[in-house]
Amino acid sequence: MSQEADALWVGRTLTGDQDAFGELVLRYERDVFNLAYRMLNNRGEAEDAAQEAFLRAYANLDRYDSERPFKTWLLSITSNHCIDRIRRRRLTWLSLEEPLPPHPALTSDLPGPEEAALADERSAEVQALLDELTPDYRVAVVLRYWYDLSYAEIAEMLGTTESAVKSRLFRARQALAGQLGARPLPALNPELRGS
């Protein structure tokens, strides 16, 4: 039903009805933003990336294959854009004559521990772990755990094979387990310290 509704909105958008695209934006803004935020770990940059993803989807809507779910097509555009952004970050030139940018932890807009709710705390813990992964591994983990996509869907979105996706997820979990071991236990939420 949802896919049919998506096809309907896409069709109307292609006839020039911008409000129809607005319906798609409202439906998927959270999915697109969450993926961008989990990839980039910065709310402002994630909103920019999410907006750019929607604009790219709008600009290329005539190339969308209506046989595929609109959501996975949109998430595919978002993940590719976020990976591009992360790669571009590495190319940023740091001049010795200019002051260094502040450490990301100092500019993070995550709430402080006093006002953080349990969900925020958990989200920040997960984000800190995700940040240790390379973009290719991070995107596989986010698509698997937040969006519950199958290996085949992730492989299609990332332009790779199912076995490569399984391998990335396996290695990512091991790396995350290693990170958990390296972190002091008090930093973790008490209810997540094993059973």
State the minimum distance, in angstroms, from the CB of residue 148 to other proteins. Answer: 10
* Smallest distance, other proteins to C-beta of residue 1, A: 21
- Residue with Cβ nearer other proteins (1 or 119): 119
CB of 192 to other proteins, least distance (A): 5
- Least CB distance to other proteins at residue 16 (A): 5
Nearer to other proteins, 54 or 73 (CB): 54
Positive or negative, the CA dihedral 117, 122, 125, 129 is negative
The residues that touch other proteins, with contacts defined as CB under 8 A, are 13-16, 18, 21-22, 25-26, 29-31, 33-34, 37-38, 43, 46-47, 50-51, 54-55, 58-59, 61-62, 88, 91-93, 95, 119, 122-123, 125-126, 129, 141, 145-146, 163, 166-167, 169-171, 173-174, 176-178, 180-181, 188, 192-195
Cα pseudo-dihedral 50, 52, 54, 59, rounded to 10: -170
The conformation of residue 98, written as its DSSP 8-state character, comes to S
Structure tokens at 151: 């290996």
- Neighbour-count burial for 138-149, b at 16+ CB within 10 Å, e otherwise: bbbbbbbeebeb
Distance CA 93, CA 68 (A): 40
The SS3 call for residue 108 is coil
